[in-house]
Chains A and B, each alone.
Chain A
């Protein structure tokens, strides 16, 4: 009886999501709710595109990733990330479109972490939270130093841009 083994929840998924998305959903379904997905990319393949609305963050299990950003009609390479590095956390944490693009360099395997899975990961692997904070803190420090440099080079005595360094986090006002 063919219908006993049939995976009924997938009916209609092909039509609704397309075959690739359906495979992804099914692969996620097979895993425990607390597990993260793993994805593989070929050389040059796009992982995320600047401006897109995806929200996952990624940890590089093997291979490398090139991060680029479009600045004044030019594509500028911001960084090359290697095994153990992570990216995409800004979109995950702030629910904002991607700030930069990411492409695989060589065959690359990634751990894919959604917002829900991030909390599970932090509870089970608290050092991951430490490493994320440390990386973000380093980035903030460099940006602060750059702001101070710009104020000094402007030489007009205005310290207004410096106030952004310690501005409190914005609150979504909802219906107001």
Chain B
């Protein structure tokens, strides 16, 4: 299994939730992949790219065809597409591997320029996912219908984690502090930057001199991504180009 890769230029996206009726990815990701193809970027899908917990297989199959075709085009041009497994797509691992020639990994250590960047979905540091996996799974499935009312339902989760941080007197930055703590653990292993997804909250902060933490956000509502360019990691927002 590939976990160490050298990529000078790559785009990292996460939490596309393709197949979920409320994901904007099936509409906007096509132009994004077109951009990656044109500008010769490699692509890293940093977990929860496909949705199986909150949708039917028919929806998933319908939405993935166009996206996977685009991915096939990238692969045909010699660009690489890496798929880091998240918590919504663990069961799809074999499907993805056999459908397209994607590199499936639990995480990636990206060597870019003279920097080492860890790209990982981040669900392993979610205390609720780790401590109550069955309840987490049940609530995730139950949240499916809620998406019809409020597509950003995932953010409620982050809000709850931040509320717990405030109660405990910990930092109240954009993301729950558990993810910053996890990133710090990784940074101490000689990484220069850590890119997570999972929380749906796009973020870029310094966690020390020359030490960076980024979250690539989500494509349920709006589309953010992290650009890796010769070691520099930058959080960006994707705007769908207007058709003439």
* Chain A residues in the interface with B (C-beta under 8 A): 36, 38, 59-62, 83-84, 111, 121, 124-128, 130-131, 134
Kindly name the residue among B107, B116, B190 whose own CB sees the greatest number of chain A CB atoms within 10 A.
B190
A61 and B184 CA atoms in complex are apart in Å by: 13
The smallest beta-carbon distance between A134 and chain B, in angstroms, is 7
- Residues of chain A contacted by B191 (CB below 8 angstroms): 84
B85 to chain A, nearest CB (A): 12
Other A-B contacts than A111-B189, A125-B182, A128-B189, 10 sampled, CB-CB below 8 A, are A38-B188, A59-B189, A60-B190, A61-B188, A62-B190, A83-B116, A84-B189, A124-B182, A127-B120, A130-B3
Kindly identify which residue among A60, A61, A121, A134 contacts B185, using a CB–CB cutoff of 8 Å. Answer: A121
- CB-nearest residue of chain A relative to B125? A124
Q: Is the interface of A mostly helix, strand, loop or mixed?
A: mixed
CB distance from B211 to the nearest CB of A (A): 11
Q: Tell whether, in the assembled complex, residue A84 and residue B109 are in contact, meaning their CB atoms are under 8 Å apart.
A: yes
Sort A-B residue pairs by CB-CB distance and give the 3 closest, nearest first.
Answer: A84-B190, A83-B190, A125-B185
If A83-B116, A84-B116, A134-B1 touch, whether A127 touches B124 (CB-CB below 8 Å) is yes
Q: Closest chain B residue to A83 by CB distance?
A: B190
Which of A121, A126, A131 makes the CB contact (< 8 A) with B3?
Answer: A131
Q: Which residues of chain B are near A60, meaning CB under 8 Å? A: 190
Interface centre among A38, A61, A83 (most CB of B within 10 A): A83
B residues lining the A interface (CB < 8 Å): 1, 3, 106-107, 109, 116, 120, 124, 182, 185-186, 188-191
Contact A127 B106 (CB under 8 A): yes
Nearest CB on A from B147, distance (A): 29
Knowing A59-B189, A62-B190, the reply to whether A126 touches B124 (Cβ < 8 A) is yes
CB B3 to nearest CB in A, in angstroms, measures 7
Interface contact tally, CB-CB below 8 A: 40
Residue pair B1, A61 in contact (C-beta under 8 Å): no
Q: Chain A residues near B189 (CB, 8 Å)?
A: 59, 61, 84, 111, 125, 128
Minimum C-beta distance from A102 to chain B (A): 16
Whether A127 pairs with B107 at a CB distance below 8 angstroms is yes
A85 nearest CB neighbor, chain B only: B190
Shortest B134–chain A CB gap in Å is: 19
Q: What's the nearest-Cβ distance from chain B to residue A48, in Å? A: 19
Q: A125-B182, A127-B124, A134-B3 are in contact. Are A36 and B188 (CB under 8 A)?
A: yes
Find chain B residues with CB under 8 A from A84 CB.
109, 116, 189-191
Chain A residues near B1 (CB-CB < 8 A): 134
Q: What are 20 pairs between A and B in contact, CB < 8 Å?
A: A59-B190, A61-B189, A62-B190, A83-B116, A84-B116, A111-B189, A121-B185, A124-B182, A125-B182, A125-B186, A126-B124, A127-B106, A127-B107, A127-B120, A128-B189, A130-B3, A130-B106, A130-B107, A134-B1, A134-B3
Chain A residue contacts of B188, Cβ below 8 A: 36, 38, 59, 61, 111
For the complex, give the distance between the alpha carbons of A39 and B209 in Å.
Answer: 18
Q: Which residues of B contact A83 (CB under 8 A)?
A: 116, 190
Residue of B at shortest CB range from A84? B190
| Alpha-carbon distance A127/B119, docked complex (angstroms) | 11
Name the residue of chain A whose CB is nearest to the CB of B118: A127
Task: Tell me the bound Cα distance from A173 to B47 in angstroms.
Answer: 46
Bound CA–CA A130/B191 (angstroms): 16
Residues of B within 8 A of A38 (CB): 188
B93 to chain A, nearest CB (A): 15
Please name the residue on chain B nearest to A109 by beta carbon. B190
Which of A38, A60, A84, A121 has the most C-beta atoms of chain B within 10 angstroms of its own C-beta? A84
Q: Of all chain B residues, which has the CB nearest A126? A: B124
Q: How far is the CB of B4 from chain A (nearest CB, A)?
A: 9
**CA separation between A76 and B120, bound complex, in Å?**
38
